[in-house]
Amino acid sequence: MCASIARSMRYMGSRCGSPGPVGNNGRVTSRTTTRAVRLDQVCADAVGVARGAITEVDPADVGDHLEAVPEGDRTVTHFFESFLAGYQGWRWAVTVTRVPRSRHVTVCETVLLPGPDALLAPGWVPWNERVQPGDLGVGDLMPTAPDDDRLTPGYVLSDDAAVEEVSWELGLGRSRVMSQEGRMETAQRWYDGEAGPEAAISTAAPRNARCGTCGFYLPLAGAMRPMFGVCGNLYAPDDGRAVSADHGCGAHSEALLSTPEPQPVDELPTVYDDSEVESVAVSRGHGSVESGEPAEDYGHS
Ligand code: SF4
């Protein structure tokens, strides 16, 4: 039991006082017994009566008698093959019964029921169970059920210290906050997915490049803090997403490029002869010839 719940219970105990000894109230519900239902032979023998009750279809659509199943005292359901088009594997079911000490059998109901090999439509699934993560689009609304286990009323003391602190200090708080069950389920989902240590980008990263030691790792507040944070590295694929402390990537803040050792290079000896000086005209002003010199031949390139 967590400390906050224990605290709440102590508080309630001091307000309400001791409940006193609890006595034995005795049995409050009647004893129920289950016994196997016996097949009533008179009803089981009434195959003709049951077959005659299937009146709304062509007699050719009713096949052989399959079985007689006891439903209760003097009540039996007879099953017949069905050849009704579109109902492969279905069976006619006719329930018959009789009153005590009478051999007169009467029909209760006649229905068409799916057999064990019947071709059936898939079971109906409510929309909120069909929705998958990522289905919510821009402008879509997805109401959360009032009894969603992932949430708990905000006035209930949470075992998340950060949630308690905010709601009690401000006196406001949200109407519902995440329950412990919701947080556990979320943490497990994150950990098992792309934010966890087994994600491809994480396993391919250097062993020491873990988010918990990365300067871009922003730890979450509250109960999730020891295990999760948000990546704040612009260049990391997980930028802006929750990541586990043992997730990692190659953009870790302390990742360094290894610099190769400098290799010696063979140098040729260079010989300078500075005893001889040669004058070289490096500029003649604009144009190809000096003023007063004959012009160059046409076609000069
Ligand atoms: S940069 Fe990489 S190692 Fe650093 S927090 Fe982001 S995902 Fe984790």
**Residue 233 alpha carbon to ligand 1 centre in Å:** 7
> What is the number of other CB atoms lying within 10 angstroms of the CB of residue 157?
17
* Ligand 1 atom, smallest distance to 233 CA: 1
Q: Which residue owns the Cα nearest ligand 1 atom 2?
A: 249
**Residue 223 alpha carbon to ligand 1 centre in Å:** 21
SS3 label, residue 122: coil
Query: Which of the listed residues 190, 194, 234, 243 should we mutate to test ligand 1's pocket, taking the one with most ligand atoms within 8 A of CB?
Result: 243
Check if the beta carbon of residue 95 is closer than 8 Å to that of residue 76. Answer: yes
Residue 171, both tokens = 């006196």
Buried b (16+ CB within 10 A) or exposed e, 185-216: eebeebbeeebbbebeebeebeeebbbeebeb
> How much is the pTM?
0.45
**Residue 244 alpha carbon to ligand 1 centre in Å:** 10
Q: Which domains are assigned to the chain?
A: 41-114 (3.10.450), 183-244 (no CATH)
Distance CA 97, CA 75 (A): 4
Distance CA 28, CA 293 (A): 134
Give the mean pLDDT per block of 10 residues along the chain (301 residues).
37 36 50 75 96 91 95 95 92 96 95 91 84 74 74 67 66 74 93 94 89 93 91 89 94 76 75 72 58 53 37
C-alpha pair distances (Å), 21 with each of 11, 18, 25, 108, 295: 20, 9, 12, 54, 131
Distance CA 190, CA 245 (A): 11
Angle at 113 between CA 108 and CA 117, to 5 degrees: 150
Closest CA to 216 of 234, 201, 228, 200: 234
Residues 44-91: tens digit of each pLDDT: 999 999 999 999 889 899 999 999 999 999 999 999 999 999 898 999
Ramachandran angles phi, psi of 69, nearest 5°: -115, 125
**Residue 245 alpha carbon to ligand 1 centre in Å:** 9
**Residue 163 alpha carbon to ligand 1 centre in Å:** 26
Residues 90-130: tens digit of each pLDDT: 999 999 999 999 999 999 999 999 999 898 888 898 887 88
Query: Which of the listed residues 194, 217, 227, 256 should we mutate to test ligand 1's pocket, taking the one with most ligand atoms within 8 A of CB?
Result: 217
Residues with CB under 6 A from ligand 1: 209, 211, 214, 216-217, 231, 233, 236, 238, 243, 247-249, 251-252
**Residue 249 alpha carbon to ligand 1 centre in Å:** 6
